[in-house]
Amino acid sequence: MFTRDSVNGHLTNLSEAVSYPFETWRGTIGLVVVAFATYVLLILSTMPEFSLQMLGDGLHWFEYVVVSLTETVYRTDGWTGFTVIVLYALLSGIAIVNAVAQLRIVGLSSLTDLSGVVPGLLASGCASCGAGLLGFLGFAGGLSALPYDGASLRFGGLLLLLFFLGRAGHPERCAIATEGAK
C-alpha cells in the first residue's frame, strides 16, 4: 500500500532525477541532443511510409518531413498530441542521460532502475495514430484496434517513464534508504 512517506519519497526522487541533467553543461547538452533525436524519431514514426519515401529520395527532405509531420500531429490532435510527443522526448532524454551517468558511476548492474524506459519509448507513439516506434516494428494495426486509438497506452508509457525515473532518483545518490537513515 502507498503511504504518504513513500509517495513523498518517490516525488523527491523524481524531482532529483529530472533536475540531474541540468546540473552540468555536459548533461544539459546530452539531454537536448537525446530529446531532439527522440522527438525526430517519434515524429517520423507517425507516418513511417511517408518518412521512408521522402527521406529515401534524399536527406534534403528532412526538414520538410519533420515540419509537415509536426503540423499533422498538431492539426490532428492539437496541443494534447503535440505535448505528449514533447513530454516523451524530454523524459526519454532525462532517462538516457541518467542511465549514462549510472553506467559511468556504478556499472551495468545499475541500469535495472531504468528498465521502464524501453517499454515507455516503444509504446509512446504519435498522438494521432498511437503507433509510435511499434509502427516501425509492424504493430501499428494492432495498436489502432485499441480503444481511443491507443491513447491509454501512450499515457501508460508516460506513467512508466515517470515511475522508473522516480524509482531511480539521482544517479549519483543511492535512492534506497538504509535502516539507520530516516
* 27 occurs within a structural domain: yes
Residues 6+ apart with CB under 8 A from 107: none
d(CA 12, CA 175) in angstroms, rounded, equals: 10
Structurally, the chain folds into a number of domains equal to 1
Residue 102, all three cell numbers: 549510472
- Tens of pLDDT along 47-70? 888 898 999 999 999 999 999 999
* 25 occurs within a structural domain: yes
- Over pLDDT 90: what percentage of the chain? 23
d(CA 120, CA 134) in angstroms, rounded, equals: 11
- Tens of pLDDT along 144-162? 555 555 566 677 778 878 8
- Over pLDDT 70: what percentage of the chain? 66
* 178 occurs within a structural domain: no
Domain enclosing residue 70, as ranges = 4-168
Which of 37, 20, 32, 9 shows the shortest CA–CA distance to 104?
20
* 100 occurs within a structural domain: yes
d(CA 113, CA 14) in angstroms, rounded, equals: 12
Q: What pLDDT, on a 0 to 100 scale, did the predictor assign at position 140?
A: 52
What is the pTM (predicted TM-score) of this model? 0.72
* 120 occurs within a structural domain: yes
d(CA 17, CA 29) in angstroms, rounded, equals: 16
* 180 occurs within a structural domain: no
d(CA 102, CA 26) in angstroms, rounded, equals: 15
Q: What pLDDT, on a 0 to 100 scale, did the predictor assign at position 69?
A: 92
d(CA 107, CA 104) in angstroms, rounded, equals: 6
- Tens of pLDDT along 104-120? 877 666 555 545 455 54
